[in-house]
Amino acid sequence: MKKLVAILLALVLVVSLAACAKPAATTDTPAAEAPASGNPVVKIGIYEPASGDNGAGGKQETLGIEYAHSVSPTVEINGTTYDVELVKVDNESSNDKAASAASTLVSAGVSVVLGSYGSGVSIAASPSFEAAGIPAIGITCTNPQVTEGNTHYFRICFLDPFQGTVLANYAYSTLGMKTAYCLSKLGDDYSGGLVNYFVKAFEALGGTCVQDTFPDGNSDFTSYINNAKNSGAEVFFSPVSTEAAQLIIDQAESQALGMPILAGDTWDSNVILQAAKGKTVDVTVTTFYPEGANAEFDAGFKAWVNADATQLANNGGDDTVAAVTAMGYDAYFFALEAMKKAASIDPAAIMEALWSTTYEGVSGPIALDQVNGDAIRNTAYVKHANNETGAWDALPPVTIG
């Protein structure tokens, strides 16, 4: 018996060692793989989480890119038609996996990188892309530090100082709340940053904030919910990952939180809708795109996602159009637009061209400012979770400036 297993193990080892040859060959010569069409290939890296805290959101954003790829699998650059190949890598929502995930993309020879969902992993991978001279386009990472002070990271969504202000205005002026309880995850750039900007804006309006943080891997939120109740807060602001959000909603229900919950773009996910359905919690979020804003895109995406069980599962089990999906779709075409403008698939040329690229996306027009390469956006959409239908109800969008 033992011998048999030993032989089996030896086989497994041999197979895995032999494996080195094949992937090595593909990474050595990226262009050598001739596709069926005979066209040259341009590679776009997808740097997104597929597991971990932000796995659900990362998958939806990736779906948007993949749907865009299915709509337009080729691009014409300078008169030559290129086949676009997507190279996906999972950054596991973890900052320490960022460097090795990024180097996988770099060594695969991608021309441009899209992603990531979650600001922390984008910040952590940024130097790797910079060292390799590859431009990256942030899709929904809203923390200013992603693009600040560098010339290779761009972004097509709004930023946290804006989003925080919108949320603070909504809480203070629209809801009329004077005290807010803010909960962020320890060491998470996204929630920490957004809470910081929310607090600044909310206090400038005359409100007061109570801040709290929870450590990584925490699943017991009852004490935080009790803290919120005891602090005299009227609104619960918690722009954390969807994974924590499920638990917060569930425990807010059982502990009778009794105040509205506000959150940022991460909570715009059907994970939240499924968690809030049939409960009494009151969830409001700000986001990039409301379902129904572009009927053609919505219908196309729904048909595409329903056609494949894996895709449907990756979208959270139903065909809700998440804002991050729309953003992923726009990011793909924005990248193609930049390649056309650069008239080259050379990363350096694309990086140069990105500064002046414009594109009319489903989430609105995209143009970048000339300081950090951030999208010039001044509208955030507000959504409220409907506890009965399990869908989003659109509230009036907010425009500032």
Residue 220 touches another protein, criterion: CB under 8 A: yes
Per the CB < 8 A criterion, the answer to whether 312 and 321 are in contact is: no
Q: At its nearest, how many Å lie between another protein and the CB of residue 233?
A: 11
Number of H helices, E strands in the chain: 14, 15
Q: At its nearest, how many Å lie between another protein and the CB of residue 359?
A: 28
- The mark string for 134-163 relative to another protein (x by CB under 8 A, - otherwise) is -----------x--xx--------------
Coil, strand or helix at 1: coil
Q: At its nearest, how many Å lie between another protein and the CB of residue 360?
A: 32
Residue 147 dihedral angles phi and psi, to the nearest 5° = -105, -15
Among the listed residues 74, 255, 358, 387, the single contact to another protein using CB under 8 A: 255
Distance of alpha carbon 210 from alpha carbon 197, whole angstroms? 14
Per the CB < 8 A criterion, the answer to whether 118 and 57 are in contact is: yes
Residue 203 touches another protein, criterion: CB under 8 A: no
Please list every residue from 18 through 77 that binds another protein, using CB under 8 A: 18-20, 22-24, 27-28, 50-52, 55-56, 59
Among the listed residues 81, 174, 230, 306, the single contact to another protein using CB under 8 A: 230
Coil, strand or helix at 117: coil
**Residue among 141, 108, 145, 144 nearest 127 (CA):** 145
Q: At its nearest, how many Å lie between another protein and the CB of residue 178?
A: 19
Residue 322 touches another protein, criterion: CB under 8 A: no
Which residues are CB-contacts of 39 (< 8 A; sequence separation ≥ 6)?
74, 80, 81, 82, 83
Q: Pinpoint the alpha helices (H) of 211-346.
A: 222-230, 242-254, 270-276, 295-306, 309-314, 323-342
Please list every residue from 68 through 97 that binds another protein, using CB under 8 A: 87-90, 92, 94-96
Stretch that binds another protein, among 172-180, 249-257, 332-340, 359-367 (CB under 8 A): 249-257
Q: At its nearest, how many Å lie between another protein and the CB of residue 281?
A: 12
Q: At its nearest, how many Å lie between another protein and the CB of residue 89?
A: 7
Biggest CA pair distance of the chain: 75
Residue 189 touches another protein, criterion: CB under 8 A: yes
